Amino acid sequence: MSEETKTYDNILLEAVRDGVYLLTINRPKVLNALNAATLEEMNDAVSEVISDPGARVLLIRGSGEKAFVAGADIEHMSHLSPIEGKAFAEHGMHLFRRLETLEIPVVALVNGYALGGGCELAMSCDFILAAENAKFGQPEVNLGVTPGFGGSQRLTRLVGRAMAMELLVTGRNMSADEAMRRGLVNHVYPQPELLDEGLKLASMIAGKSRSAIQLTKQLVQRGQDLDLDNACVMESDLFGLSFSTPDRIEGMAAFLENRKPKFA
């Protein structure tokens, strides 16, 4: 059922169906660790997905059953100078911010270790579905470095300052259940069911209005860093803007005619 896309060395990208894309980080020998080449290919894959006007949802997972992503590639980083280290961090930051602000929802399917850069990647997605064996953590203190792909900032926003601080300074892992209790993960599934659950959810999202989802992402992403007055002004503005879309005409007409909407 799924269609082949461009061929990559470190990732797989499949157009599954109905605008749902599945990106698999495919370096199982190193538990899908992220080096510069992998970040580059992920960035190209995002461009490929978003150039399809029919794209609706991007799912991201790691290959195999052991890891989502076990972090930035430590072998790669061990050769970097301070300036190169900063450039490597900026490379990851740029890609992860791009995912966070992408027009379509991005969902992480965390099928094992999500450590360091892997936890940071998952946190840059709109939300996370996890397998029961998933483990989340920011173990950079064990390597004598800080997080570099946004972990200190996104973890703090997601779980609060005190818990983020505990996780960052101890480097301890959180189980999937703990991550769900702390608001990092939306749902936990037995590992064999994770992909199907992700695809089911993606199909549900794919049937909704793409333009309304795009504006909603902007509201949540931009609004969280604004004061409430300005955030509410932005919501009225984008609500008004949504009235200019064909989907608004179709969505309201379908309701009034008691039928299912057919969005653009």
Which parts of this chain interact with ligand CAA (CB under 6 A)? 30-31, 33, 70-75, 92, 113, 115-117, 120, 139-140, 143, 147-149, 151
- For this structure, is 166 an active site residue? no
213 φ/ψ angles, rounded to the nearest 5 degrees: -65, -40
- The first and second tokens of residue 125, run together, are 């997605």
The order of strands in the sheet holding 135-137 is 67-69, 113-115, 135-137, 174-175
Nearer to ligand CAA, 19 or 92 (CB): 92
Cβ of residue 91: shortest distance to ligand CAA, in angstroms?
10
Q: Catalytic one among 120, 166, 193, 197?
A: 120
Half-sphere exposure of 29 (CA within 13 A, CB side): 2
- The first and second tokens of residue 185, run together, are 């993960």
Nearer to ligand CAA, 73 or 247 (CB): 73
Cβ of residue 104: shortest distance to ligand CAA, in angstroms?
25
Q: Identify whether the C-beta of residue 23 lies closer than 8 Å to the C-beta of residue 58.
A: yes
Cβ of residue 74: shortest distance to ligand CAA, in angstroms?
4
Cβ of residue 156: shortest distance to ligand CAA, in angstroms?
14
- For this structure, is 120 an active site residue? yes
Nearer to ligand CAA, 103 or 178 (CB): 178
Q: Catalytic one among 41, 140, 193, 235?
A: 140
Question: 22-46 burial, b if ≥16 CB within 10 A, otherwise e?
Answer: bbbbbbeebbbbbbbebbebbeebb
Nearer to ligand CAA, 13 or 33 (CB): 33
- CB-based burial of residue 169 (10 Å sphere; 0-12 exposed, 13-18 middle, 19+ buried)? exposed
- Residues identified as active-site: 120, 140
